[in-house]
Structures are given as structure tokens and as C-alpha cells.
Amino acid sequence: MPMAGLRSETDCRTDTIRFVLDGEVIELENVDPTRTVLQFLREDLRRTGTKEGCAEGDCGACTIVVAELNRERDDLTLRAINSCIQFLPTLDGKELITVESLNRPGNDLHPVQKAMVDCDGSQCGFCTPGFVMSLFALYKTNAEPTRIEIDDALAGNLCRCTGYRPIIAAARAMYAEQPDADDWLRQASGTAKKPEARLQQLKSICRDAGLAIEHKGRRFLAPASSDELAEALAKHADATLLAGGTDVGLWVTKQHRDLETVVYTGRVDALAKLEVDATHIDIGAAVTLTDAMAVIVTHYPELDELFKRFGSPPIRNAATLGGNIANGSPIGDSMPALMVAGTTLVLRSLQGTREVALNDFYIDYEVTDLKPGEFIERIRMPLPRQGTVLRSHKLSKRFDQDISAVCTAYYLELDGDSVTSFRMACGGLAATIKRATHCEAVIEGAVWSAETIALAAAALAKDFAPITDMRASAAYRLRGAQNLLRRFYLEISGELEQTVYAYGRQG
Ligand SMILES: Cc1cc2nc3c(=O)[nH]c(=O)nc-3n(C[C@H](O)[C@H](O)[C@H](O)COP(=O)(O)OP(=O)(O)OC[C@H]3O[C@@H](n4cnc5c(N)ncnc54)[C@H](O)[C@@H]3O)c2cc1C
Ligand code: FES
Ligand code: FES
């Protein structure tokens, strides 16, 4: 039962989550706030098709697909996510699709599964349900994927025995199978459910009100508006703000932290908005990276490779830009580019709103300018000005799903061969992401030449004194940043292509 008084925090809250599974509405009352969807599937429902490999979003064995109502388009958005780090209450109002949901009447294989069998895409089979679900999301959302799109769709799935070639062959072959005809969700009766009916069913369980769950003294609050969110944070000083959970989820699954009060941003209307006005891309802090990056890349196409190298699609489908900025990690990948672009953050609390430059937001290692009770409401990234260049480079051991050793970004304005404006920001070189002010001072106003870049690269040593850790040595990090700056120079001079994304990935 809800704790006395909890419901009064905000009228109309409910303590029961509702979601659709195989055509049925599942209702669960006062669930454990940090129980993962994977635990629920395997331990409560005994749907053991979904596997646990790493419990930290890395291997993809736990991949599920979630369908969500898009009210503006009156449509469904289908996305693969990692169930191992997704907390169960976040499913409220959505449709959960697991590998078992792909069963068809008569036990016929789904086209994705048939293609995996026909192409020998599985050996021990442990990773297979995860691959099937990533491919299923691709099958449903992209009728004719390129090789690069197939690789990207599978970037979050690891296989130790089969190797990827047969799985990529299956990703191509699945379209030649008997089409799915949108009937993948078998109802209990075994009859097919038409998308329109599914849309209506999701509408029937969607609600505008917030959630307030109480479970053995721990709470999960999901306010529906910024005011309610500010209220909840003011009331619960110990609260953990939860967005996509791709950081917070690991605090529970890996660090075994006991989160007493979780306040979820995923239902707050203002935080879900994504708008472009005359001067800015205005991104609600709870907008997923997948959605935010799609809009940013239409204005800054040169950031495409950086974003494709951010985690994997299941991570980007859950994670938010607000979470990436707020966690204050010195190796967060979106911040260098946002910083040199001149991005500002709209911070909100019960006291009102204030706008701060991202440049001034980080104070020390994982310490930000956020005051108690304050949260990021919106991220405002200026639109590019004519004739300016903004690029970012990520240096990591693997192309996909890896954490940066160094991440750099540059903003450049030239007048002929004179630099009228230059900004550079780096991650992985200090306790916080920060601008390279000595390096900038060398380049700004100078002639854009190899000699200037050599001086500026040397000045990076004054800006940063990196540390050595398991990812890279201090010397490697500094040399890496210096070489990436040289690479930027060579790209701008036309001596190097901007991207390596397509290398080895054709055909
Ligand atoms: C497998 C894997 C791969 C990853 N790869 C990358 C990568 O390539 N590059 C990279 O940069 N990161 C990576 N990450 C880290 C993570 O995905 C990102 O930091 C992500 O953007 C976090 O967003 P989230 O919505 O999941 O945040 P959450 O986990 O929900 O929250 C993160 C932090 O932000 C706070 N927070 C969330 N929203 C707000 C808000 N509106 N206001 C104030 N505080 C808020 C939370 O309280 C918490 O402290 C990876 C993580 C995993 C598990
Ligand atoms: S179990 Fe490895 S990503 Fe979830
Ligand atoms: S088939 Fe064994 S891990 Fe992929």
C-alpha cells in the first residue's frame, strides 16, 4: 500500500504501473523501484529467453524492444533497449516486446529468427535472443538497411562464438522471408493484433498523471510536470534523479547501491520537448540521445560519426542528453562538442529558472553547478553560423561501444587564412571536460597554418595534466589530443577525409 501522505504530494498520482505484454495489459502495484525489467522477466515471469550477460548495458544479451506512443505523430516508436539496467516502473504506459513475443501461431519462426537459422547465425545461442531483438527493431524500422546501418544496429550485441558475418547475412536475409505483416504480437488467443488496435490499447493505458510508488520504505516518483519535479526534489533531499538509467542503472546492478527515493524524469512533459527556434536547438533534458542526436546532426552533420560511436543503439535509445551532461563524467562524449558550440543549460528548481553556460557548469570531478533541488530542464545549443566549422573526435580502443580515452571538439571561423574564432574542448584530460584556453589563445587571431597548429599542440600541455588509468597513460592521452588537433587541421586543409566511419564497412 502507498505510504500515508504520499498520494497527497500531487493529486491524481497512481501507485500502479500498467504496460502491455503480448496484447495483455499487465498491472503491477507498488513494485520495487529499482527492480530491473530483466529481473522481472526472468525471475517473476520465468520468461528466460532474455539473457543476462554483463548486467551493465555492454553485451546486449538482455535486449528487449519497447513500443511507445508518440502522441504528436499519433504513432508508435519501437526501440531496442537493455533490460538489465532499465528499472521496471519506467515501463508504465509502454509496450514490452521480448523474444517470446515473436512466437507466431503454430510456432512458426519470425522472419528474423528464420534468417538467423538459415544463415547459421547462432552457435551456443546465449547471445542469440539479444541479436534477434536488435534485428527485430531494425526489421520493423528500416525496410532497406545499408551495411553501415546493419553494423550500427548490432553495435550493442556481442557474440563470442559465431562471429558476426553470418549474423550480418541474417540481417540481410530476413527481408526475403515471408513478411511479418505487423502481426508479431500474438495475443493470448493466438490471433494477430493489428497496429491500429495496438495503438488504441497503448492510448488506453497512457495517462497524464504522475506515479508515486512505495515499496518497503523506498520510493519511485514520476512527476508529470516541471513544477511537480521541482516539488519532489525539494521534498526529498536524498532523491536520485533518474533519466535513461544508463549510468544510474549500474549504480544498482554493479555497485549495489540502495536508492531510497528515485525521481524519474521520463514523464515530465517539458523535459520531453525538442524544438528548433530561430537561433537554437532546444532539447528537453529527458529527450533520448537517439532523438536529440538526429536533430543535432541535421544542423551539424559533421557530428554524425561521434554520435554513432556513442555507446550503442540500445544505450542511445534509453540515455538522455541531460543525463550525459549532469553526471559530470570527464569522459562524457557529447560535452566537448556542445561546449565549443556555446551551449547553455536551463536549470530549474522551486526558486525558478536560471541559464548557465555549459562552459561554466563543471566545477570538479563529478561536481557540477547544480544546487540542491535543481535539475536540468533544457539544453540550448546554438544553430551553426554560416562559414563556421564544428567537429569532434573520439579516441578509444574500439570503434563501437567503447569509452573514450580522449574526446576533442573544435569550433573554427576563418577569414581567408586568418582565424577569427577558435574554441577547443577536451574530455579525458582532466577532472572535468574543459576548454583548452592556452591552445585557443595561440590559434585565435593567428594564421591557420601547420606552424600555428604545432605551437597550439604544444600549448595543450599547459592546459592539461592528464592522469594514467586502465584506459590510457597520461602521455598517450596528451599525445592523442595533440594529434587529433593536427588531424583537424589536416581535415580542414583537405589533406585528410573527415570521417573513418565508412572504412572497412562497405559491401
Ligand atoms: C554500455 C554503456 C555505454 C556507454 N557509452 C557511452 C559513450 O560512448 N559515451 C558517453 O559519454 N557515455 C556513455 N555511457 C554513459 C551513459 O550512457 C551516458 O552518460 C548517458 O547519457 C546518461 O544518460 P541517462 O539518461 O541514462 O542518465 P541517468 O543514468 O538516468 O543519469 C545520469 C546522471 O544524471 C543525473 N540526471 C539525469 N537527468 C538529469 C536532469 N534532468 N537534471 C539533473 N540531473 C540529471 C542523474 O541523477 C545521474 O546522476 C555509456 C553507458 C553504458 C552503460
Ligand atoms: S546483460 Fe549485458 S547488456 Fe544487459
Ligand atoms: S552464439 Fe555463442 S555467444 Fe553468440
Distance CA(83)–CA(105), nearest Å, equals 26
Would the CB of 84 count as within 6 Å of ligand 2?
yes
| The CATH number, out of the four listed (3.30.470.10, 3.30.540.10, 1.10.760.10, 3.10.20.30), of the domain defined by the range 16-207 | 3.10.20.30
Rg (Cα) of the chain, in Å, rounded? 24
- Coil vs helix vs strand at 190: coil
Alpha helix (H) residue ranges in 40-181: 111-118, 128-141, 147-153, 165-173
8 Å CB contact between 344 and 355? yes
Ligand 3 atom at minimal distance to the Cα of residue 122: 1
CATH 3.30.390.50 in the chain, residues? 388-492
Domain 388-492, CATH homologous superfamily name and number: CO dehydrogenase flavoprotein, C-terminal domain (3.30.390.50)
- Mean pLDDT over all residues of the chain? 91
Contacts of 504 (CB under 8 A, 6+ apart): none
Would the CB of 53 count as within 6 Å of ligand 2?
yes
CB under 8 Å, gap of 24 or more: what pairs does 38-47 form? 38/62, 38/83, 38/84, 38/86, 39/88, 40/88, 41/83, 41/98, 47/98, 47/100
Compute CA distances 251 → 50, 257, 277, 348, 363, whole Å: 22, 6, 37, 25, 22
pLDDT confidence of 2, banded at 50, 70, 90? very low
> How does pLDDT run across 255-276, given as a tens digit for each residue?
999 999 999 999 999 999 999 9
Mean local confidence (pLDDT), 412-433: 96
* Residue 265: Cβ within 10 Å count: 26
pLDDT at 505 exceeding the cut of 70: no
Instruction: Single out the residue of 209, 215, 245 nearest to residue 228, CA to CA.
Output: 209
Q: What is the pLDDT of residue 194?
A: 58
Question: How close is the Cα of 327 to the center of ligand 1, in Å?
Answer: 6
> Which triple of cell numbers denotes residue 72?
504528436
Would the CB of 133 count as within 6 Å of ligand 2?
no
Question: How close is the Cα of 421 to the center of ligand 1, in Å?
Answer: 31
Would the CB of 61 count as within 6 Å of ligand 2?
yes
CATH 3.30.465.10 in the chain, residues? 208-327+342-383
Compute CA distances 392 → 23, 122, 303, 333, 425, whole Å: 44, 37, 6, 9, 9
> Which triple of cell numbers denotes residue 481?
589530443
> How does pLDDT run across 134-143, given as a tens digit for each residue?
999 999 888 8
Would the CB of 59 count as within 6 Å of ligand 2?
yes
Residue 53: nearest ligand to its CA?
A: 2
Instruction: Single out the residue of 358, 379, 384 nearest to residue 298, CA to CA.
Output: 384
Distance CA(486)–CA(440), nearest Å, equals 14
Give backbone dihedrals phi and psi of 211, rounded to 5 degrees, phi first: -120, 145
> How does pLDDT run across 425-459, given as a tens digit for each residue?
999 999 999 999 999 999 999 999 999 999 999 99
pLDDT confidence of 500, banded at 50, 70, 90? low
Fold for domain 208-327+342-383? 3.30.465
Question: How close is the Cα of 86 to the center of ligand 1, in Å?
Answer: 12
When mean pLDDT is compared over 5-14, 68-77, 233-242, the highest value belongs to 233-242
pLDDT at 186 exceeding the cut of 50: no
8 Å CB contact between 221 and 230? no
Q: What is the pLDDT of residue 498?
A: 64
Mean local confidence (pLDDT), 379-384: 98
pTM over cut 0.75: yes
Distance CA(152)–CA(57), nearest Å, equals 16
Distance CA(434)–CA(445), nearest Å, equals 21
Question: How close is the Cα of 37 to the center of ligand 2, in Å?
Answer: 12
Ligand 2 atom at minimal distance to the Cα of residue 58: 3
Q: What is the pLDDT of residue 377?
A: 98
CATH 3.10.20.30 in the chain, residues? 16-207
Alpha helix (H) residue ranges in 53-127: 111-118
Q: What angle do CA 494, 495, 499 make, to 5 degrees?
A: 75
Distance CA(85)–CA(253), nearest Å, equals 7
- Coil vs helix vs strand at 418: strand
Alpha helix (H) residue ranges in 1-49: 37-39
Tell whether the torsion through CA atoms of 301, 305, 311 and 317 is positive or negative.
positive
Q: What is the pLDDT of residue 276?
A: 98
Distance CA(377)–CA(271), nearest Å, equals 6
Q: What is the pLDDT of residue 199?
A: 86
Q: What percent of the chain has pLDDT over 70?
A: 93
Instruction: Single out the residue of 304, 291, 361, 288 nearest to residue 327, CA to CA.
Output: 361
Question: How close is the Cα of 101 to the center of ligand 3, in Å?
Answer: 21
pLDDT confidence of 4, banded at 50, 70, 90? very low
pLDDT at 10 exceeding the cut of 80: no
pLDDT confidence of 501, banded at 50, 70, 90? low
Distance CA(6)–CA(268), nearest Å, equals 19
Return the bridge partners of 435, or none: 425
> How does pLDDT run across 459-492, given as a tens digit for each residue?
999 999 998 988 899 999 999 999 999 999 999 9
Tell whether the torsion through CA atoms of 95, 96, 99 and 101 is positive or negative.
negative
Ligand 3 atom at minimal distance to the Cα of residue 123: 1
* Residue 300: Cβ within 10 Å count: 23
Question: How close is the Cα of 114 to the center of ligand 3, in Å?
Answer: 17
Question: How close is the Cα of 118 to the center of ligand 1, in Å?
Answer: 38
Residues with CB under 6 A from ligand 3: 122-128, 159-162
pLDDT confidence of 101, banded at 50, 70, 90? very high
Q: What percent of the chain has pLDDT over 90?
A: 81
8 Å CB contact between 437 and 429? no
Taking CA atoms only, the protein residue closest to ligand 2 atom 3 is 57
Q: What is the pLDDT of residue 196?
A: 81
Mean local confidence (pLDDT), 177-189: 54
282 class by beta-carbon count within 10 Å (0-12 exposed, 13-18 middle, 19+ buried):
middle
